[in-house]
Structure 1
C-alpha cells in the first residue's frame, strides 16, 4: 500500500492543502489496514475510504469532551481515503514506561469518553457485543496460555459506552512528561467499557490498571474478569502479530505482559 498511499495522499493535499502540494511525504507508521504519512505539519492517515469521514466526524464530537488531546481533523477526503490532522507532539509509548500520573490521567480521560451520549455518535461507529466467547475464534499462541484463556471466559456485560476500543501503548503519544495525544480511532465502537482498560492492563501492568480504575470509578463489580480476559487475548494477538510481521516491538511488549497476565 506504500506507493499507492502516497499517491492518494498527494491527491488529497492538492485538493485540500495546496500550500503543501510540493512537500515531501514520508511514512510515519502503519497498521493492518492503514498507512500514516506526514507532510509538513499534517499527518495523513490513508485508510478505508468512507471510514475516514466517519472518523473525522467522531473526532469532532470527542475532542471537546475529553481532557486529553485527540487528532483535530483538517480535512477528510472520502475519494482518496485520507484523514488529515495537525501533527501532535510526542511519540507512541509502545516499549516505553509511562510517566508518573499517566494512569490517573487516563482514568479521567476514559470517564469523560464513556460519558459521551451514544446517540451523538449513532451511525459513526458500530455497536459491538464484545462477547468474550467470540474472542476465542482464531486466537493463537502457546498452548499452555491458550488453555488458561479458554478456561476463564467471563460472562458478557450488558453495559455499552462509546469506547476507543484499541487503547494500547502504540496509540498513546507521550513527550517524556506525560500523554500528549490519543490517536487512531478507527476501531471506536459503542461497546463494553472493559475493552478500554484491557490494553492498558496488558501494556502497563496491574498497578497502573488499579490506579486508572480508582480514578475512573463506576465499573461494575464483575468488570475485572472481563478486563483480564480481553487483556490476555490482546497480548496473544500482539505476540502473533509481532512474530508474523517482524515488528519486534509488539512481540517484546506482549512477552513482558505475559508475566503479569499469566502468573504461574
Structure 2
C-alpha cells in the first residue's frame, strides 16, 4: 500500500492520512508494517516511522519524548509530528531490530541498568503534564489475568504488597521495545505506557524476557532496589501470562514462544 491509496486496514489508512498531511513529500512511498501490539501499529515510509495509537494521546507522548531524550543514555524516538486527530505519532526511524526472540549481546543488562538509573532519577514534576501516576497495585493485576490454571494458582497465592516508591518509568520495557544491532542496544521505543509508578515494573519485563541472571546484572548496574524482588517476580509472571494469551489469541507466535520460554524461570517446578 502506498500512502496515496489502497487498503491495508484502518491503522494503515490513518497512517497514510497523517503522512499526506505532515510529510506530503513521502506520500508516494509504500507503507511498510514494522510491528503490532496491544495499543499500537507501526509503519515506516522511508526513514519516517508512523505509530498509529489506540486509546492514548500522541501529543502527550511527543511532549514526554522531548523532555526525556536529552536526559537518557540510549536513543528514544525523536518526534517529527503528532497528529491528535489521526492518533499518529511520526518519528525518525531508529537503527537496530527488536530483541523479541533474540539473545542480547553481552553487557546489555548493565547498559539497561544504567539507563533505568537515569530514567528513574528524572524529576516526576518535569513530566507531570505528559504522564499519569499509576498505583501499580499488584492485586489489581489479577482482575483480567488468564492462563493455565496451575500457573494462575501460583500467581494468586503470591501477591505482594504494593510499594510507595514512585519514579518516572517506561512501564512496558519488554524485549519488543528494545532495539539492538550486532554490538548492543541502539534505542528504546514505545513510551505510550510511561507513568510515575513503581520502579519494579521496569525490571519485571527484563526478568520475564531475559531471565534471572540478566535481572541480577541490571539491578547491580542500577545500584540495587531493596525489597523489590517479590514485586518484580509477581509483575513478571503476570506479564508472561498476558503475552502468552496475546500470542495465542492473535496468532503472534513470537510472543507466545517468548512467554513459554520464560515460564521455566518464572514458574520453576
Give the TM-score, by structure 1 length: 0.96
Q: Unaligned regions of 5+ residues in structure 2, if any?
A: 1-6
Correspondence for 2:46 among 15, 40, 44? 40
Q: 1:161 matched to which residue of 2? A: 167
After superposition, give the CA deviation of every residue in 1:24-81 in whole Å (9 maximum; x if it has no partner).
1121111123211110110000114761101111111111111001101111111221
Paired with 2:192 and 2:130, the residues of 1 have a C-alpha distance of 10
Decide whether the 8 Å contact of 1:50 with 1:78 is kept in 2.
no
Q: 1:237 matched to which residue of 2? A: 242
Q: Does residue 194 of the first structure (1) align with residue 176 of the second (2)?
A: no
Paired with 1:174 and 1:113, the residues of 2 have a C-alpha distance of 19
Decide whether the 8 Å contact of 2:76 with 2:189 is kept in 1.
yes
Q: Does residue 21 of the first structure (1) align with residue 27 of the second (2)?
A: yes
Q: Does residue 115 of the first structure (1) align with residue 121 of the second (2)?
A: yes
Q: 1:104 matched to which residue of 2? A: 110
Q: 28-37 vs 122-131, which deviates more?
A: 28-37
Correspondence for 2:221 among 215, 228, 247? 215
Paired with 2:115 and 2:8, the residues of 1 have a C-alpha distance of 34
Question: What's the RMSD between the two structures over aligned residues?
Answer: 1.4
Change (3 A) 1:74 1:114: same
Helix, strand or coil for the counterpart of 2:132? coil
Q: How does 1:1-264 map to 2 (within 5 A)?
A: 2-48=8-54, 51-219=57-225, 221-264=226-269
Decide whether the 8 Å contact of 1:66 with 1:113 is kept in 2.
yes
Q: Unaligned regions of 5+ residues in structure 1, if any?
A: none
After superposition, give the CA deviation of every residue in 1:142-194 in whole Å (9 maximum; x if it has no partner).
11111111111111100111100000001101112111110011111110000
Q: How many residues align?
A: 263
Give the TM-score, by structure 2 length: 0.94
Paired with 1:180 and 1:61, the residues of 2 have a C-alpha distance of 19
Paired with 2:232 and 2:49, the residues of 1 have a C-alpha distance of 32
Q: Cα offset for 1:240?
A: 1.0
